[in-house]
Amino acid sequence: MQQHAGRVCGRLAPSPTGHIHLGNAWAFLLAWLSVRSRKGRLILRVEDIDPQRSKGEFTGTLLEDLRWFGLDWDEGPDIGGPAQPYLQSLRMACYEEALARLEAVDATYPCFCTRRELRHLASAPHVEDMGTPYPGTCRRLDGEKQAALFEAGRRAAVRLRCSGTTVSFVDGLQGEIRASLADCGGDFALRRSDGVISYQLAVTVDDALMGVTDVVRGRDILPSTPRQIVLQRLLGYATPVYRHIPLLLDNGGNRLAKRHQSLTLRKLRQEGVEARRVVGLLSHMAGLNPSEMSVSPQELLPRFAPENLPKHDQCVTEDNLRRLVP
């Protein structure tokens, strides 16, 4: 399998579906430190591939909030670069070319299952988000049946054939990972029936074409990694080094998400909280700042070692939040 060589390259990949919250900031800070501590190149890519969830007005605020937080990047939608464009919504030609290559080697098939049928099969509202294996209903359709469905006006998603595939890789933080694609959802969609390219395909193509060698992201994305590695192998792409970091949780043990509006960087900034205090809290949870003192990302670089990051989820307590407020 092709391997990366040369300078380390990482990426920050926010989605414009809302403001950046502490959980996002945690992941972006650790991704930034992982690259900058090795004098690597950093790309900012806006993952706005889903038109139903992405809002253009959030793109500018994402960049503004990340810069306020103390992060920088070498390439991105605001400064350009050799791998532009850096908005996924402008990269459709790249995804369609990769999809055509997969279709040419019979690695895909059309899926005519409706969302209602998928809910019935999985007994869950989002079969792929839940990781429930797709049973291969449409994989068994012959060419005549497929043609008849297209003739009847049925729209089709495009799925990847994943029969019996098992992937092994060494995560830079979690250690050796071995998973079958059945455990990760089975035959997964590459393009939805409405024409929207899937996260799995878009991220795989973008990381490869942008030269990304290191990916730091939350452990909740771990089930996606075997899928992306299989796509990399089929398309002849190199596989980055992955580090899946623990999540930040609220007092109830729930993952911090966009619903935690009071914990967005924008809200904290409006309340007079200094960026250095936020970095101080997050670096303390990462084991980089024993005293929780105010600090900038740059000041953390000499003490950063990715192998020393915690492996278990961290809880943001009310005491933590109270200490942020001046």
**Structure confidence at residue 127 (pLDDT):** 36
**Structure confidence at residue 56 (pLDDT):** 83
Do 160 and 218 reside in the same domain of the chain? no
- Report the run of H or E that residue 203 belongs to, with start and end: helix 199-209
The residues that are catalytic are 258
Residue 29: give its domain's CATH number. 3.40.50.620
Do 183 and 231 reside in the same domain of the chain? no
Do 83 and 214 reside in the same domain of the chain? yes
Do 103 and 81 reside in the same domain of the chain? no
**Structure confidence at residue 1 (pLDDT):** 38
Q: If DSSP codes are grouped into helix, strand and coil, which group holds residue 313?
A: coil
Is residue 272 in some structural domain? yes
CA distance 255 to 312: 13
Contact between 70 and 275 (Cβ < 8 Å): yes
Domain boundary among 148, 179, 198: 198
Is residue 283 in some structural domain? yes
Is residue 14 in some structural domain? yes
Contact between 12 and 70 (Cβ < 8 Å): no
- Report the run of H or E that residue 110 belongs to, with start and end: strand 108-111
Is residue 159 in some structural domain? yes
Is residue 3 in some structural domain? no
Do 269 and 307 reside in the same domain of the chain? yes
DSSP string, 132-170: PPB--TGGG--HHHHHHHHHTT---EEEE--TT-EEEEE
Is residue 66 in some structural domain? yes
> pLDDT, tens digit, for every residue of 119-175?
665 443 333 443 567 888 899 899 899 999 998 888 999 999 987 788 999 999 999
**Structure confidence at residue 259 (pLDDT):** 54
Do 86 and 222 reside in the same domain of the chain? yes
- Report the run of H or E that residue 121 belongs to, with start and end: helix 115-122
Q: If DSSP codes are grouped into helix, strand and coil, which group holds residue 214?
A: strand
**Structure confidence at residue 55 (pLDDT):** 85
- What average pLDDT values come out for the chain (326 residues) when binned by 10 residues? 68 93 95 97 96 86 96 97 96 98 96 78 42 79 90 91 89 92 88 94 98 96 94 97 93 66 84 94 93 94 89 88 80
Tokens of 69: 């937080």
Residue 152: give its domain's CATH number. 3.90.800.10
Q: Which residue has the tokens 């960026």?
A: 275
Q: If DSSP codes are grouped into helix, strand and coil, which group holds residue 36?
A: helix
Do 171 and 114 reside in the same domain of the chain? yes
The model's pTM is 0.90
Tokens of 272: 């007079």
Is residue 221 in some structural domain? yes
**Number of domains forming the structure of the chain:** 2
Domain boundary among 198, 226, 254: 198
Do 80 and 221 reside in the same domain of the chain? yes
Do 185 and 222 reside in the same domain of the chain? no
Domain boundary among 178, 198, 218: 198
Contact between 313 and 248 (Cβ < 8 Å): yes
- Report the run of H or E that residue 279 belongs to, with start and end: helix 275-285
Is residue 1 in some structural domain? no
Closest CA to 217 of 281, 166, 173: 173
Q: If DSSP codes are grouped into helix, strand and coil, which group holds residue 96?
A: helix
Do 205 and 320 reside in the same domain of the chain? yes
Q: Which residue range is the domain that position 191 belongs to?
A: 92-198
Q: How far is CA 255 from CA 132, 135, 245, in A?
A: 21, 29, 13
CA distance 283 to 295: 9
**Structure confidence at residue 277 (pLDDT):** 95
Do 96 and 85 reside in the same domain of the chain? no
Do 122 and 158 reside in the same domain of the chain? yes
